[in-house]
Structure 1
């Protein structure tokens, strides 16, 4: 006899929120494949967030609730918040009832607050997963009445939080590394298979400061005989004084590459922001890094990077200090220091947690309410 497990995942705004939702859903489906349990997943976000595109593209059902931003200053918009939130909660309650939801799993973001409150009103158990060291407002609220609170980093300040790691999809956790895969990945990206490779990425949107700092130090970097794969982000290409896109031997810049698995495989060293997902992916696969935390927000990226920094697996540089001069004087030495890169890689790998998605699938299975 077939039984159904109806699960709602909620969150979004950025790819960093969406990725763990997809990983947990994948793990849950995998857990019950070839069994008499049918898993029915609905993902809820906002129409404006990246989830509105990423989730349907991944093959999951998606519904939206109204986005309810919290104004940072006293204004007429602040007075509208209770009414907007009430409307979003009403939307979420209908979604939960129509889906006959047995458990809600949230990762934070605009959609999570109304869905958490709707679940509480509908007496549906809530599971919160916090990806950052410093939790956001939505997860702080949800954790107050959640059945289970899980976190990616040790030391996250949420009541009763258990450390499980960051749920990641199997294209990362099962990613084969080594010289052969590295050479193949480089060839597939139009790179020399035998050259030391530096990857620079500011995330899906790019990072102008990273781009300009690296662009201003290209000659020093290329003098090491390393090659550079630079993911610049859309409309953020590195240009010369005439405005032309820089084109040098050994330097490949592209706006975006769908899926970072091949990029990770190709790299000897990566320069990146310190989003929670990125930090855990680098640890899971064992990749040396130079991390430049995003200087805005509540400082969570600096906290996210602390573990890799303290262990020696990563060099962490403040955004204001990551200049062309810093790149030119520091990165060439690191690229040429093979023993240090090997040490950084192994140290990162020792910190990696590869089974967080499976752990969360177990928690979800044990938490659902009978319908």
Structure 2
């Protein structure tokens, strides 16, 4: 077990404010770090800062953390009327964030980007409260590019992220993922999904909402998968209802689910994955050593492609453009990998080498160290 930093001597609990809202890509690593902090030091007071936009009010309370809401401040990327209104909105949000920091006597602000991060960073800076930043994406957003100018405590998913003072550690993940032994968990996982232990398994997932492109491509190739003896575990997404294709007796199973609360069992059952390449997906798959065919979402300046490229370069996956992810491509490329056990094994090993399991603990320990220093001085 890693050593825990020495407790503070100020006579009051260490107080940590975590700012990482709006999207699951910001919230999930933020809450994973909060969980690690709580595990290392249960006496620490953790407060989450969020907005009414996005998933903050849904995901954060579900993880058991108090949520303080401030006005959202989306930052326009072009010259517009919205941009002219931004300074006033920023001032209001900074004031609201500052009130929270004062009330909880924050010892550190830990930011993960998103709408809520800029006000939190600016409020902390004006109060000489230290800032710790984590950037999960290959291309840093506006909030974290700003924060990297305000602190030297900057942590990133990989060494390729161009931020000042950046230290690459990976992305904080849930213990269900970091502790997963795929080989040991595989028999129970397959049985739980009604899948055979004797067939290769393809996992298809487009995230919590699903991805129509992936769904259509795999359904279009479902007959070829059946003929090749490959079974499919297809998480279609809550916004993309679909039914499993008919199967004759003795043919490989095709399981369709709308959503899974935790992906650990699906990862244990799978041999290969067809998926988007969001930062969390890439981090989880490499942490558990699962090779994948990555289909980047063709938005946000190609950010998802940047997430997947280092994994593919290391030999841990395939990369295909969204428009080229057709039933024909899936049938030829994905079936080709799943039908070649030595190639599949080599890709799994390469994926594992590209991953990192300990980011949550590393970041939690650093946050506690910084917070306790401030707590002792204040």
What TM-score does the superposition give when structure 1 sets the normalisation length?
0.93
Tell me which residue corresponds to 1:89.
94
Q: 1: CA distance between counterparts of 2:239 and 2:290?
A: 28
Q: 2: CA distance between counterparts of 1:234 and 1:277?
A: 19
Contact 2:244–2:255 (CA under 8 A) maintained in structure 1: no
Alignment of 1:7-156 (within 5 A): 7-33=16-42, 38-156=43-161
What's the CA shift for 1:10? 0.5
Alignment of 1:1-371 (within 5 A): 3-33=12-42, 38-178=43-183, 180-238=184-242, 245-249=243-247, 250-368=253-371, 369-370=374-375, 371=378
Q: RMSD of the TM alignment (CA)?
A: 1.5
SS in 1 for 2:113: coil
Change in 2 beyond 3 A, CA 1:48/1:190: farther
Q: 2: CA distance between counterparts of 1:227 and 1:265?
A: 14
What's the CA shift for 1:188? 1.4
Q: Please list the CA deviations of residues 274-297 of structure 1 after superposition, one character each: whole Å capped at 9, or x if unmatched.
A: 111111111111111111111100
Contact 2:22–2:115 (CA under 8 A) maintained in structure 1: yes
Contact 1:203–1:233 (CA under 8 A) maintained in structure 2: yes
Contact 1:133–1:154 (CA under 8 A) maintained in structure 2: no
Contact 1:151–1:166 (CA under 8 A) maintained in structure 2: yes
What's the CA shift for 1:246? 4.3
Q: 2: CA distance between counterparts of 1:195 and 1:97?
A: 58
Tell me which residue corresponds to 2:4.
none
Gaps of 5+ in 1: 239-244
Q: Which runs of 4+ in 1 moved over 4 A?
A: none
Q: 2: CA distance between counterparts of 1:64 and 1:271?
A: 36
Query: When the two structures are aligned, how many residues end up with a matched partner?
Result: 360
Contact 1:147–1:367 (CA under 8 A) maintained in structure 2: no
Gaps of 5+ in 2: 1-8, 248-252
What TM-score does the superposition give when structure 2 sets the normalisation length?
0.92
Change in 2 beyond 3 A, CA 1:145/1:235: closer
Contact 1:183–1:194 (CA under 8 A) maintained in structure 2: no
Contact 2:152–2:165 (CA under 8 A) maintained in structure 1: no
